[in-house]
Amino acid sequence: MVKAADGRALAVESLGDPRGRPVFLLHGMPGSRVGPHPRSTVLYRLGVRLISYDRPGYGDSTRLPGRRVSAAAADVRTIADDLGLDGFAVLGRSGGGPHALACAALLPERVSRVAVLVGLAPRNATGLDWYAGMTPSNVRAYREAERGHDRIADTMEFRSRQIKDDPVRLLKGLRPELSPADREVVADTGLRRMLQSNYREAFRHGADGWIDDVLAFTADWGFKVEDVAVPTWLWHGADDQFSPVGHSRWLADHIPGAELFLEPGAAHFGAFRVLTTTLAWAAGQSFTRP
């Protein structure tokens, strides 16, 4: 556990080679520090020290009411200082993507590389139809968030209690909206176990983290993606409907030097299959496209 300057607790986990290249893995939405990641033996082979933490309101991390996406940079800096890390890479998956970009934009002296898998673009992205191609359940949630906290809190609290009691419920609820590619990915028994642990931990104390993520994504992020000036890798499954592929296309057009790879036939959960390769790139190793 790490203490922020304002006294908040940040639940942190470190895995892999303690002398390896440090890489922060920022979890999805909803998610937690125990979310799917490569086994420690794989991390040792990669020479990676993997650091993950619960965003405020998830798991055992204290809530930060009204937080913006940019707040992640201060929390990551606090954790890095506590661990004695001068420099590190950042990888964000899905809802962790915007937070990873915040770290790259606001901590340029600390972040060496940033990778984003199936991420989102800012809500105010000029020239982007933010909702185009997005699954109806996500459209409903984000549109309600744009109307304010009270419009989504009760619903999300109720859903979080259900998911905490039965984490499989979230995957079952998503199934009608999953592409065939995503259904194949989440059918893996090992991945399903990790996702169940992830969701159970995410909602340990309620839905605050989930609510605050949704609100943060639909408000001003507190930084400009154009300020990201470190090597940037973007990956997106071409059939993704949870975070539509247009978001990564927009990011690639606005982050200087960003490299975008769109994988035909893959969708949202396909990001788990490229996680190991992307970690290797983030750690500075020679990169082979997934």
What CATH number is attached to the domain comprising 78? 3.40.50.1820
| Interval 218-232: pLDDT, tens | 999 999 999 999 999
The percent of residues above 70 in pLDDT, for the chain, comes to 95
What is residue 154's predicted lDDT score, i.e. its pLDDT?
82
The percent of residues above 90 in pLDDT, for the chain, comes to 75
Q: Is residue 195 part of a domain?
A: yes
| Alpha-carbon gap, residue 61 to 79, rounded angstroms | 12
What is residue 288's predicted lDDT score, i.e. its pLDDT?
52
Residue 168 has pLDDT above 90, yes or no: no
88 sits in the region (left: phi over 0; alpha: psi -120 to 50; else beta) called: beta
Is there a contact between 253 and 241 (Cβ–Cβ < 8 Å)? no
Find the range with the poorest average confidence among 131-135, 207-211, 283-287.
283-287
What is residue 214's predicted lDDT score, i.e. its pLDDT?
94
Q: Is residue 290 part of a domain?
A: no
Q: What DSSP string runs through 15-77?
A: EE-TTSEEEEEE--SS--TTSS---HHHHHHHTEEEEEEPPTTSTTSPP-TT--TTHHHHHHH
Residue-number span of the structural domain to which 196 is assigned: 2-282
Q: Is residue 247 part of a domain?
A: yes
Q: Is residue 235 part of a domain?
A: yes
What is residue 189's predicted lDDT score, i.e. its pLDDT?
87
| Interval 190-208: pLDDT, tens | 888 888 889 889 999 999 9
275 sits in the region (left: phi over 0; alpha: psi -120 to 50; else beta) called: alpha
Mean pLDDT of all residues in the chain? 92
DSSP label at 222? S
Q: Is residue 288 part of a domain?
A: no
| Interval 18-54: pLDDT, tens | 999 999 999 999 999 998 899 999 999 999 999 999 9
Q: Pick the residue with more confidence: 160 or 272?
A: 272
Measured CA angle at 125 (ends 113, 140), to 5 deg: 105
What is residue 146's predicted lDDT score, i.e. its pLDDT?
86
What is residue 156's predicted lDDT score, i.e. its pLDDT?
83
Q: How many domains does the chain have?
A: 1
Q: Is residue 200 part of a domain?
A: yes
- What 287-290 contacts at long range (C-beta under 8 Å, 24+ apart), as own/partner pairs, is 287/233, 289/261, 290/235, 290/261, 290/263
Residue 106 has pLDDT above 80, yes or no: yes
| Interval 52-103: pLDDT, tens | 999 999 999 999 999 999 999 999 999 999 999 999 999 999 999 999 999 9
Rounded to two decimals, what is the model's pTM? 0.94
| Alpha-carbon gap, residue 115 to 102, rounded angstroms | 12
pLDDT band with cut points at 50, 70 and 90 for residue 261: very high
| Alpha-carbon gap, residue 195 to 168, rounded angstroms | 8
Helix (H, G, I), strand (E, B) or coil at 170: helix
What is residue 186's predicted lDDT score, i.e. its pLDDT?
80
What is residue 259's predicted lDDT score, i.e. its pLDDT?
96
| Alpha-carbon gap, residue 91 to 113, rounded angstroms | 8
| Alpha-carbon gap, residue 138 to 152, rounded angstroms | 12
Q: Is residue 287 part of a domain?
A: no
Helix H segments across the chain?
Answer: 40-46, 71-83, 96-106, 136-146, 149-165, 168-174, 180-186, 189-202, 208-217, 245-254, 275-282
Q: Which two tokens stand for residue 288?
A: 């082979």
Q: Is residue 171 part of a domain?
A: yes
pLDDT band with cut points at 50, 70 and 90 for residue 289: low
What is residue 177's predicted lDDT score, i.e. its pLDDT?
78
pLDDT band with cut points at 50, 70 and 90 for residue 286: low
Q: Cα–Cα distances in Å, from 161 out to 26, 131, 155, 244, 276?
A: 23, 27, 10, 28, 32
| Alpha-carbon gap, residue 105 to 139, rounded angstroms | 27
